[in-house]
Amino acid sequence: MSSEELRPEEFAQAADAAITDALSRNDPHEMAGVLAQAGLCGVMASEDDGGLGLDLAFALPIAHAAGRLQLPLPLAEQMLLAHALAGTPEAAALAAGERLAGIAWQGSLQEGAARLDHGPADWVLVADGDGAALIDARDLPRHAQPALDPEQPQVWLTLQGAPVLARLDAEAFAALVRRAHLLLAEFANGAAEGALLAASSYMATRVQFGRPLSAKQAVRHLLARMRLLQDVSSAAIRRAMHAGEYGTARDTRPALAGAIANAAFVIEKAIHLHGGMGFTWELRVHPALRAVRKLDAAFSGLSAAVGRDFIQSV
């Protein structure tokens, strides 16, 4: 499908409807089927693999919607792998939603263990030397780590004897990582937007001393700052998609590091504006913070590495 026939913002509206429909299902694989039927899982996958063959610009609003609507599936990873594994049966299965796939950003085949930070997955991509391997994780031993998220805990997988389904060489894996930085940054930014919308709605309807809380200048200033940080993250993501001043590819790591930090601030302030009630299960702000904190843990040390590289480049 030619990207000239669609605009990302129009595609984003359809993504909202499909994700909302998927959230009404209880089974993760049923959710994936709904998303695949709408074309979301295979938005970047080759048309030969049953995908739409669109570029990254169309996947970004989908990742944003997944974060904003708190989709409990690794949709960004699913889109990435359906694209990266082009021409394989695995890519076709991912585009069709027949299997769920995630990416372990911690651990490797050589270490014999890897950690899955977000959502259930039948197949998991793990580091393998300079490249990566897609493994069948359905029968692997798992050890849950519920400290950050008791509802959807991080999971350590034991990789000894794991069946390898496909491999990515160093170049293909590096390209996937660049796209992942931007998609996951947009996911975090979407999670922040969902929290900001919830907070602004609450401030507009909660009345104190005869006026809504949103009428108070301190509240308005804080909401404006939260929105500004979201815009900063969006601008950084879009900038990283384009070549630099000398035609070279820009580093995508700062966009992800900044989006994670900004999202954490926005969501924490949203909880603050709710009067701390984000810690209750009735107000669904806290899952967004957990999702962003798990993303921060998945890319542990990213901000320090970006800062160190910047200092050394000066």
pLDDT in tens, 106-151: 999 999 999 999 889 999 999 999 999 999 999 999 999 999 999 8
pLDDT tier for residue 275 given thresholds of 50, 70 and 90: confident
Go through the chain and tell me how many residues it has.
314
Question: Given this model, what pLDDT does residue 210 score?
Answer: 72
84-118 burial: b if 16+ Cβ within 10 Å, else e: bbbeeebbbbbbbbebbbbbbbbbbbeeebbbbbb
pLDDT tier for residue 278 given thresholds of 50, 70 and 90: low
| pLDDT at 282 > cutoff 80 | no
pLDDT, tens digit, 9 for 90 and up, residues 191-235: 999 999 999 888 888 777 777 777 688 888 999 999 999 999 999
| pLDDT at 101 > cutoff 80 | yes
Question: Given this model, what pLDDT does residue 4 score?
Answer: 57
- Give the domain 172-313 fold: Butyryl-CoA Dehydrogenase, subunit A; domain 3 (1.20.140)
Torsions phi, psi of 145, nearest 5?
Answer: -120, 95
pLDDT, tens digit, 9 for 90 and up, residues 80-95: 999 999 999 999 999 9
**Residue 15, SS3?**
helix
Question: Given this model, what pLDDT does residue 244 score?
Answer: 82
Question: Given this model, what pLDDT does residue 276 score?
Answer: 67
How far is 117 from 18, CA to CA, in rounded Å?
24
Domain ranges within the chain, ordered by starting residue = 1-99, 100-168, 172-313
Residue 118 in contact with residue 161, Cβ under 8 Å?
no
Paired sense of beta strands 154-158 and 211-212, if any: unpaired
Residue in 262, 283, 105, 239 with CA at minimum distance from that of residue 187: 262
CATH assignment of 1-99? 1.10.540.10
Beta bridge partners of 113: 108, 158
